[in-house]
Structure 1
Amino acid sequence: MSFSISPPASGRTQDAALEDALDRRRARLRSTQLERLLMRSYQQLVVSFVLALALWTGHWFITGKTDAIGWALIVHSAQLLQWAVARAFKLSGRAALVESARWLRRYQLTLFISATAWGLAAVVVLANETNLMVITAWAVTLLGMAGIGAHVVSAVHSAIYLWLVPLLLPLVLMMLANGGVVQTSVAVLVLGFGSMTGFFASAMHRLLRTALQTKLDNDALVRALRQQVVLVERADREKSRFLASASHDLRQPMHALGLFAGALDKHLNGTALQPTVTNMIRAIDALEQSFSAMLDISKLDAGVIQPNLQAFPIRDLFRVLHMHCSGQAEEKGLGLRFKADGKIVTSDPQLLQRVLSNLVHNALRYTREGGVVVVVRQRAGQTSLEVWDTGIGIAEDELPRVFDEFYQVTNPGRDRSRGLGMGLAIVKRLVLLMGHSLEVRSTPGRGTVFRILMKPTEMADMESVVLGADTVPAPIDEDHTVLLIDDEESIRTGMRELLETWGYQVLTAGNITEACTEVRRHAGVIDLVISDLRLANREDGIHAIERVREAYGAPLPALLMTGDTSPEQVKRAHESGHRVLFKPVRTRDLHAVLRGIP
């Protein structure tokens, strides 16, 4: 197997490729014309056979002359030849279209023979005929065959004249040879009819050719579109794979940096260097928020977030939001009001809080004076949660784009201090995930309103509302032992230092074999296994936890940590049944999870 990369094609090569493309187009057009001709040959043959049979038998019955029988043998032989060619073409199937030029020549030859056979009627039958009624019947029949045949063969321009000329010319010559006034007039009429038939058949040919070319162009566009769709899907998969790999590689050192910063903050607490460490942790938190926004999109794409719809008083959620957002409002000198009016809504409290938090923070960010009001009201039989602001507003042409990823109004320069522009994209996905609707209206310079429309809460749901109470988590038991599995030494070192400052005893391992060895070597109890999802040498954190449990002989509690944000891996991690944290993990989040594990 070999692979090579060549320079772009030269101008001469491109001209040759264009000429090849034109040749292929002409071949496809010819194939389509041929298919149209030969597939319709059966209908033409049936009609012409019936007419020829009726014509010569009628002539024999009326005149008693047998000269039409000889003509009948010629015509029916030509028709049999036409049928044989059409039959052979049909049996050859699509393979015949590859040799379309050869089959077209065969068809034209049989067509010319058939037209000549019909035209011989003027020589074989009518040359010695004196009965005007018989002559008229034959002439009308020949003209009818000329008109019908010209219509049938109009797909190929040359076939029109291969049919008309040999069919009508003998009749014209025979009439002119007789020299009478009537015969000459008939000859002129036949010539006029043939000319008009040829003219209209040629016009039909042009229409058919245009239609066929349009069809071929459309087919080519469809093929090109399908190819582009395949390329776009492939590029999207490659992009997702690249982003997942890059995200994982970036999250690993970020996670280690956060661990070291957390341990350093613990050691330098109360010293002159603590403000520096605090600023460093804030910078790390900002990076973590950016990673978390992208992770939320990956979770939603993976379908691992499932809403837990329930009825609850919106007042409690408004209180939490006021506590979280009032500081930002006070800092900017803005008003912030929440109006619950005792309403009970049916939604997912956590996801709805995330949605409203994004909308309120976004409103405060783009409001310079006035304030933000969050209300709940009934609108057209629905419960409407509304976030009003007196901010800069959004232009009408930008409204459809505000929910796109990485899009920010009035931030074309992509100022990172103003966020990534992922908030409204996450809002849209979460609202749709919960089965709600989302509306936005805005007037530039006056403000914006976002509405979340949800089904009203039924009375039966209101009666089942249970108000939860906050509890104070218990402190960590300092006797707990943790087995940490991670293939990167910096993360093992940072995690061990952080956990030890929290009072944990930490066992570390870089792979499954080392982890099982640590389990067998440790004489005491192991309380928790923390493992990275993607380990070195294609080892897997989920499999590592299973092997550790087998070596320990008990179903140890486990926590998965991963920097892989591809939808497939996110879904797989959640389906494992273990608690999952995504790198970089903030120390307070890790601390909260560890406190919740018995």
Structure 2
Amino acid sequence: MALLIPRYDEPRLLAAEMELIDQSFGVAMLGCALAGLILALGLSVDHRHPGALLWAAALAACCALGHFGRRALPDRLDEAGAGTYARCMTALLTVIGGLWGLAAWLYMDVGSPATVICILSLIAGMSAAALAVFSACLPVAVGFFVPAIVPVWAVFIATGDTAYLAMLLGAPLYLAVLMVFARNYARVARHAIALRFANVELIARLREQTARAESAQHEAEEANRAKSVFLASASHDLRQPLHALGLFVVTLGRSELNDKQRQLLAHIEAASGAAREMLNTLLDFSKVDAGVITPRPRVFRLQPMLYKLENEFAPQADARGLFYRTRDTTVSVFADPNLVELILRNLIANAIRYTSQGGVLVACRLRRGTAVLEVWDTGVGIPLGQRRAIFREFHQLGNPERDQRKGLGLGLAIVEGLARTISTRVLLNSRPGRGSVFRFALPLTGQAAPYAEMAGDAPGEPQPRPALNGLRVLVLDDDPDIRTAMRELLQSWRATCLAVESEDEALDALEDFKPDLLLADYRLRGERTGSQAMEAIRARLGRPVPTVIITGDTAPERLRSVHADSAALLHKPVVAQHLHTAMTALLSEAGWRPDIPRAAALRAHG
């Protein structure tokens, strides 16, 4: 029943469907009028049917009425006017289809095979054209098919001649096939339009974010704080829709698509990947810009890292027709491997992006007792006057139009910030048109740079963890599972733990429990923060209490505020070893010493 009496779609979809039809409507009407004229001329000359010219004139008038009359509906492609436009077009196509059916009823002489073939060919051709042009809106297409085909069927029924049995059976079958194909085409059109709506909405959101980013860039030149706040909020806003987009793309990829749709899907996947890359870049920059990255150096071999990067970037270079080479090395260095890898990752990505022919080489050289990592490329090169500017955020060479496919201009700013964090410098040599080399030095094993003092354990030999015997720890977190896990962990370290869920409960507990250290989540109930709770507890006790704040928030302003409160900051999920290191560092600064059992004390004094 739904096939015979199709319904119009909801206004938003219907407006898009009518827009598709409207694009080809004028050509369709012209073709229909010309086909009618050709038929009428043939009938008038060969078969002496002067009335055929009147029929052709009526058909041409209807086609002209449809073509020019639609201009009387200025809002025909808007949601408000699409329904009226669709109903008017359905009525018009019903009349035009009826005229073609009338021609079959009046002029199709079964005794003249030539006439039958001519009329059937033109009606079949018009029906096929209607299928292609009007199937985006199923009622419009059906409005033409039924009045055009049913009279043909009636002519063959009226003959009663078994010689035309095949045509008698073929006419309704042809009508049914047309309607099935029209329904399928309408379904495909609806899905394509829905996907287009999703893409338009995504593009609108990305454009909105881009506009906000450009506005924040201007403000950042005058106020660094405003820029940092924006970067954090933008990364938070983009995370959820990009995740949803990825799920939709995967789901769509598993459905039956034609080659054109597969090509569009590949473009969507590429755009989604680029957006994720931009988001990760923004997050990295916000952390560097906030100055809250703490290096954790250790001894590690460079070769596995270089091999990992080659596996990742060599396919990208191959896709651009570039070579990618890594010079093997046996060197071990003392540095934070994660930060070193992030520096190399940004330098290599930048080299590939700005190289159109030749390739990229990553190598390590020993110079003056250090390991110097180098990234060579044969790209566009960097003019002398731009060699400092390229390390500024949002600065890009050869991208005045701000094409975001070329990145956001943050990669080298992140590189320079990370290099400062690990107490090194990124040096640059370049020749415009010939290529560039970026290099930075790392200390070899046993030659730690000044920042190694922040690492805790010395390289090569793991140090025993300081005991926490007798340490009184107040844990403040509104998640019961986290409170339980913290209690079990601290007790395994031989500390005494009291875990509470709110600031008020913590303040009440201070009457009987005097903590040596506070562990607090950043976000607490009642829109309170761990920093605020720490200040209240310190005020109640009348003394500073070493505090570790644990957070999943990466907003630079919030991170800096925690550091300004002389509290240690750890990010979720927290590694137990890192928590222990932070606690012992704070306790050491506060002069706390673990309880020594009496027997051990007597042995110590002989």
- The TM-score normalised by the length of structure 1 is 0.40
Larger radius of gyration: 1
1 or 2 for the larger relative contact order (CA 8 Å, sep ≥6)?
1
